[in-house]
């Protein structure tokens, strides 16, 4: 059986879980960011990142590569459109979700994580910079969507990649404006009505209760893993000095293939 090095809350793992469920592929989950599974995860992925997929001993890492592998392995139902231009567009939306949406949401949400009880305040202007960039991207999504259907016509990896990030906006106080974003709001409702999406949302909720309900914290609660795009956005918005202090204080880990 397929084995997923997973984390209930990771948007990248959520994308892969949605694709696995949509393709009807059963899989075993390992809560691989739990501290007691760290060594297993590093054996599968030296960068110690989820998701990683183990298909009978063959390991694939990086969510977009896992989705591409699953599409080749089990082409039906497809998560890439048949038309070459729509396929390219779907991959491009996936990349925007994985790089831009993830980076901004990650960087401004740290102070609200249930794992890390930080006593400091975000650097001045960080939340506002993130909010402004996210609102800009919500406008881009609104313009791209039609009145019905999905980002690239049929349901595709574009939708599965974007959806987990969009669920994170409300807790950040970044709301759809029914007047400004009617198509995005309708798309979100459409996504939430899909059975695979509902099942995964139930799973995320159940895991939040299980993992954060007790005093014992299964995950890292001091250090933050800072991957490329997440650092890049901070630097692009002028918060490099704050990040250097994090690094020097030993609160920042930078993943490496080595």
Ligand X SMILES: N[C@@H](CCC(=O)N[C@@H](CS)C(=O)NCC(=O)O)C(=O)O
* Interface with ligand X in residues 198-257 (CB under 6 A): 220, 225, 227
Alpha-carbon gap, residue 155 to 49, rounded angstroms: 27
What secondary structure letter does DSSP report for 99?
A: I
What count of Cα atoms within 13 Å lies in the side-chain half-sphere of residue 204?
17
Pairing of strands 2-6, 52-55: antiparallel
Nearer to ligand X, 182 or 218 (CB): 218
* Interface with ligand X in residues 55-84 (CB under 6 A): 62-64
What count of Cα atoms within 13 Å lies in the side-chain half-sphere of residue 81?
20
Identify the residue among 23, 31, 51, 158 touching ligand X (CB under 6 A): 51
User: Percentages helix, strand, coil for the chain, rounded to the nearest 5?
Assistant: 55, 10, 35
Nearer to ligand X, 81 or 164 (CB): 164
Nearer to ligand X, 78 or 255 (CB): 255
Q: C-beta of 181: minimal distance to ligand X in Å?
A: 25
Does residue 164 touch ligand X according to CB under 6 A? no
Does residue 6 touch ligand X according to CB under 6 A? no
Q: C-beta of 248: minimal distance to ligand X in Å?
A: 20
Alpha-carbon gap, residue 150 to 131, rounded angstroms: 24
Nearer to ligand X, 190 or 227 (CB): 227
Q: For helices 126-144 and 102-109, what crossing angle results, to 10°?
A: 150
* Interface with ligand X in residues 87-126 (CB under 6 A): 98
Residue numbers at the binding site for ligand X (CB under 6 A): 10-12, 33, 48-51, 62-64, 98, 220, 225, 227
């Amino acid at each position: 059986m397929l084995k997923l090095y997973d984390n209930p809350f990771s948007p990248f793992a959520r994308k892969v879980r949605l694709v696995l469920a949509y393709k009807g592929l059963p899989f075993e989950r390992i809560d691989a960011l739990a501290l007691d599974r760290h060594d297993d995860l590093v054996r599968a992925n030296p960068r110690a990142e989820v998701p990683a997929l183990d298909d009978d001993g063959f390991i694939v890492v990086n969510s977009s590569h896992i989705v591409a592998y699953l599409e080749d392995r089990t082409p039906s139902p497809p998560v890439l459109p048949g038309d070459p231009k729509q396929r390219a567009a779907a991959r491009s939306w996936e990349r925007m979700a994985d790089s831009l949406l993830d980076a901004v949401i990650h960087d401004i949400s740290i102070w609200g994580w249930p794992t890390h009880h930080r006593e400091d305040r975000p650097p001045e202007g960080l939340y506002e910079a993130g909010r402004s960039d996210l609102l800009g991207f919500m406008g881009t999504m609104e313009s791209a969507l039609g009145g019905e259907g999905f980002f690239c016509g049929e349901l595709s990896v574009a939708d599965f990649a974007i959806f987990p990030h969009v669920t994170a906006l409300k807790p950040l106080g970044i709301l759809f404006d029914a007047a400004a974003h009617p198509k995005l709001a309708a798309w979100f409702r459409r996504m939430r009505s899909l059975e695979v999406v509902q099942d995964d949302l139930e799973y995320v909720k159940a895991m939040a209760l299980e993992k954060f309900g007790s005093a014992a914290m299964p995950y890292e609660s001091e250090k933050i893993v800072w991957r490329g795009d997440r650092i890049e956005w901070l630097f692009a918005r002028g918060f490099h000095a704050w990040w250097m202090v994090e690094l020097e204080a030993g609160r920042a880990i930078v993943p490496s293939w080595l």
